[in-house]
Amino acid sequence: MKFKDTKLNDKLKKAICEMGYEDLTRIQEETFEPIFRRKDVIAMAKTGSGKTAAYILPLLQNINYTNKSTQVLVVAPTRELVIQIVEQIRKFCKYSQSINCLPIYGGQEIRLQAILLRKGVKIVVGTPGRINDLLDKKVLKLAKLRTIVLDEADEMFSMGFEKEVDEILNSINISSQKLLFSATITDRVYKIASKYLNDPITINCSDDTSILVNEVVQIAIDVKEKMKNECSLRILKKENAKNSMIFCNTKKKTETVYKYLIDNNVKAEMLNSDIRQEEREKILKRLKNGELDTIVVTDVLARGIDVEDLDLVINYDIPFENEYYVHRIGRTARKGKNGVAYTLFTGKQIDRIKEIEKYTNKKFIFENVPSISKDINVDFPISNRGYYIITLNIGKQDGIKNKDIVGAIRATTGMKTEDIGKIEVNDNITKVEIPKNYIGDVVAKFENGIIKGRSVSIIKE
């Protein structure tokens, strides 16, 4: 179904068209009519499936343009998601100037939020804690609320907001329409739904991964853990990415990767729990404006961040949950555009790669670590197999064995064992056959390298 064929007014359709959207996603198509008819809805959909538009567009169509009271309240678990929702609503309302929208969350001046609310705000989007603060101060008034939306309800409850959400739902008119969007229906989500929703319509699109993965080129690279920083750097250079995200599983990893990239002249920033909200917003703005090449993030901080048209996503770590994988890579395939997503894995994680393939119903393309340079002006002998022959200044007297050479080359260049040619360890020197497309990597890493604690250099013959 296309947006032009919906019941939306011409102003909304014009804004949607300018944003590049034509077809409704599955969740949007299945929820539009029930929400438009003011039914209570429980909708299961994965993050990135277009769920914000799924609930907000029919609500915008039904909103009373002349009433200044708060008519729609959206409750979201994080500041980042609140900001994303508000940004999207404002884009939809580009030609509907009488509809205003206000984000409310901790870290902002509550006095300013109160002033704006007293003037009248039709749509309020906020985190549970700040919404309750403003309700307690009797600044946020919900007497004429038409609809409340709980966005990412499962995440909200896993973060410990169940009590706050319960208090919000107790404060609204019983006749208000209630919409609950969640990736999964956990026991706590079901408890809230059964307590407050009135004969809800349940819509399950949680199995719809095709929305995000069909247009994404998914590439997997088997790489040693200590080679991941270098591999990420080479991917950025290979893809010439001007706006990208690198996902790590821990805050400590974001710091390590960020420092490595900065040391190698990449325009990078990081987002983790140590970064203040004000600074986070500045970083995201810089990425959107093309001032950064990449930002290094954790899943928790990236949840709710909406940066469209990413050139590239790198999974530095494989996420713990398959859902997070789909959420990550979906950032590089928005509005019908193709995207590229790299996933770095160590040999023992091949089962996780296969699990993700099964979950997304799409195969990875397996590649080697990108080489530094395929064309380099070098003066090395060439073997009869077409390999360059390099000579290292270490050998048997240094306790060096073939496996030591293989391990060092793999760990520092990303080459596979099978890509390395013949190795000849003599008493004082070692000769190694290197494929032409990897000679730049080896020269860069072994002109002044270390193997088994020994200084290594390439002997020019």
Tokens 């949950």 correspond to what residue?
Answer: 321
Residue 407's nearest CA partner among 344, 350, 449 is 449
* Integer Cα distance of 429 and 11 in angstroms: 75
- How confident is the model over 120-138, as pLDDT tens digits? 999 999 999 999 999 999 9
Tally of helices (H runs) and strands (E runs) in the chain: 18, 19
The one-letter amino acid code at 33 reads E
Q: What CATH class does 3-205 carry?
A: alpha beta
Pairing label, strands 101-104, 123-126: parallel
Structure token pair of residue 345: 């894995």
* Integer Cα distance of 203 and 32 in angstroms: 11
Q: What are phi and psi of 134, to 5 degrees?
A: -75, -30
Residue 43 has a CB neighbour count (10 Å cut-off) of 26
- How confident is the model over 146-166, as pLDDT tens digits? 999 999 898 898 889 999 999
DSSP H or E segment with residue 456: strand 454-456
Buried b (16+ CB within 10 A) or exposed e, 199-229: ebbebebbebbebbbebbebbbbbbbeebbb
Topology of domain 227-366, per CATH? Rossmann fold (3.40.50)
Residue 298's nearest CA partner among 260, 340, 352, 256 is 256
Boundaries of every domain in the chain = 3-205, 227-366, 388-456
Beta bridge partners of 202: 42
Structure token pair of residue 248: 């790590």
Q: Would 3-205 and 388-456 be classified into the same CATH topology?
A: no
* Integer Cα distance of 285 and 269 in angstroms: 12
Terminal alpha carbon distance of the chain? 69
> Average per-residue pLDDT in the chain?
87
* Integer Cα distance of 321 and 186 in angstroms: 16
Structure token pair of residue 115: 């002033």
Instruction: Give the strand order in the sheet containing 423-425.
Output: 388-392, 430-434, 423-425
Structure token pair of residue 37: 């008819």
* Integer Cα distance of 51 and 27 in angstroms: 6
State the DSSP code for 125.
Answer: E
* Integer Cα distance of 151 and 74 in angstroms: 7
Q: What are phi and psi of 126, to 5 degrees?
A: -155, 170
The low-confidence residues of the chain, meaning pLDDT below 70, are 20, 46-48, 207-215, 300-309, 323, 333-338, 373-378, 461
Q: What CATH class does 388-456 carry?
A: alpha beta
